[in-house]
Amino acid sequence: MADLARILPLVDGEAYSIYDNFAGTVAALSGRVATTGQVWSSTGAASAIVTAGGGNLSQSADTPAPGYAVIDGTAVPWEIGCTFSFSGVATAPVIACFEIDFSDDMFHFYMSPTAFNWTYWKDGLTAQAVTWGDQKGAFSLAADTVYTYRIFLEPPFAHGVLLLADGTIVSRVTIYEPNMAAVIGSTVFFETFNASLKYHTVWTKINASDQSYKNAFAAGLQGTPIGLKNPAPAILSSLHVGPGAPSGALSYRYDEVGDIPKILGSGVAPELQIKAEGGGYGALLRLINGAGAAGTVTMSGGYALEFAGNSGAAFLTKPANAGTPYFSSGVKVNGSSGVTQTDASAKPTSGSYTVGDFVWNKAPSISGGKVLLGWSRLTTGSAHVLDTDWAACYATNS
């Protein structure tokens, strides 16, 4: 999941498809009209004691339990959320998204006082574990504290975040589940368990501004350390950042802020793909050391791998649509000190070299039955005397 500290302000202005802050006199929930006009219903063992009013959705007693406050938003939500607190028994909100009968199909966004435990129901099979999930940040909910719980649906992915009232992120979770799209729908429920748990506001948002959400996630990725994990053996690890939709089923995005960037595979080789979608564009992977300036590479259908640092850059380059990949400047090999191989049409007369460096002759010809291959460096420094600093290297032609 992208960096939520940057994403959330970008999506906070989106219009609500369902919203209720439970104003008015405390009364039975069933039949209540939400702020946005939909009608609530209640079900479950505690349906008769699910109440709303005075700024809260709750139960008037601890038993029987549970109860389900149900509302239909007429469209599959992109976001589901609530603010909540508890005053006695430690209790956390549980939210579900479904179409008709949640006992058959639903995605169950269960949160305990210490963890996210998301599962799904499909064809009557209950509490099935998601294919892959990762939680960042341990937590233990405190009594008499108002929290915000936001869930972002992006099938087959979903992202959750728990925040304090001042916007501090307490914990977050990202999951991957291919069955998600088949079990979610336009209806949601907010589960009540006892008189301790109180929902203060609840809401959903739909895809009316879908592109703004996508842009928000792209913006949240910028400058953030990204850890890419393979959510399932059938899917390669890869990254999509930029305009438009990811290309193909392999694209995946996920972040571990503060972690070392990495790509991990499970059952398959990890893969990072960079694809230029439009004709006439190349692809560039740029690896920059510290504050080094990287220079400019103009690609036109070719590709490049750039290693850039404070002292300059080297490129493994393939010309546009043809030709053989080559390094644009010297390559240091063989050990920590290493040697550099470059090419020139004559023995170097300037620059600093290290003993063992080699300069290939890029204008060879036969003379006297021999071919001049290049020049081997005999000393370290910036002198360029033949047979002292450089030795000419020949091959015989016979």
**pLDDT band at 299, cuts 50/70/90?**
very low
**pLDDT band at 214, cuts 50/70/90?**
low
Beta strands at 339-344 and 358-361: parallel, antiparallel or unpaired: parallel
pLDDT at 251: 36
Q: Is the peptide bond before 348 cis (omega within 30 degrees of 0)?
A: no
Statement: the pTM of the whole predicted model exceeds 0.75: no
CA triple 69-75-79, angle to 5 deg? 70
| Rounded Cα gap, residues 207 and 291, in angstroms | 40
The answer to whether residue 374 scores a pLDDT higher than 60 is yes
CA distances from 108 to 129, 140, 177, 313, 374 (A): 10, 20, 12, 51, 70
The answer to whether residue 34 scores a pLDDT higher than 60 is yes
Map out the domains of the chain as residue ranges.
4-208, 225-273, 331-396
**DSSP H or E run through 10:** helix 4-11
Burial of 259 (0-12, 13-18, 19+ CB in 10 A): exposed
Residues, the chain:
398
CATH code for the structural domain at 4-208: 2.60.120.560
pLDDT at 226: 37
- Looking at every residue in the chain, the average pLDDT score rounds to 78
Give the lowest-confidence range in 109-113, 144-148, 174-178, 358-362.
Answer: 174-178
pLDDT at 206: 80
Mean pLDDT of 139-144: 96
Q: Which residues contact 12 (CB under 8 A, 6 or more apart)?
A: none
**pLDDT band at 285, cuts 50/70/90?**
low
* Winning range, highest mean pLDDT, from 160-164, 199-203, 313-317: 199-203
